[in-house]
Amino acid sequence: MMTASQIALSGVLVLTALAGAWDYRTGHIPNKLVLGGAVLGVASHLGLYALLLPRDGQSLGELMSSAVANMMLGVLICGAVPLLLYRTGAMGGGDVKLLAAIGAWLGPVLGLQAEMYGFIVAAVYAPARLAYQGQLLRLLGNSAVLLSNPFLPKARRRKVPEALLTELRFGPALFVGCVLVTLVRWSGS
């Protein structure tokens, strides 16, 4: 029999596979997909708490309030850093919403693991792809300019043209991160 975390991870794998494929092809993650995934995540989270995680002497109301608290904490924690990245222009809005939906499915602990693995996959993949395309040195130079600008007087700050900035589609990396979390969790059960 599958555990509650295995069921939740299975749902997240389907959601991130669809979102990753869509993001890879178009550069966008559709709101309808993320909203549908979030609704299924909420229903799954509540259902798993009610059916697979009851504790002796705990009322259904206590169980559901615990499930809602865990789910909301997952949404907030998994969405906080991506929201800050979005506000600085470093991440797309679809990625933020997808990570919040993952938090609804998995809660804060598994959700953060999936998010962390996704960021690690992106951090490994991005330089490899840029080196293959011959753009790694340009990216490093642009990054140095962007990192040093806040510490320079306004007159000495350099602007990096929008055309020279590099875009990375995060959906596929997040899918691979979720696969890794699933493999780690399933090998440990």
* C-beta atoms surrounding 114 within 10 Å: 28
Q: Which domain holds residue 178?
A: 4-187
The pTM (predicted TM-score) of the whole model is 0.83
CA distances from 11 to 44, 50, 128, 187 (A): 9, 17, 30, 18
More confidently predicted of 105 and 139:
105
Q: What is the pLDDT of residues 85-123, one digit of tens each?
A: 888 878 899 999 999 999 999 999 999 999 999 999 998
The alpha helices in 27-135, defined as continuous H runs, are 31-52, 60-87, 93-133
- In the predicted structure, residue 5 carries a pLDDT above the cut 60: yes
Joined together, the tokens standing for residue 96 give 């933020």
The count of structural domains within the chain is 1
Q: Are 34 and 99 in contact (CB under 8 A)?
A: no
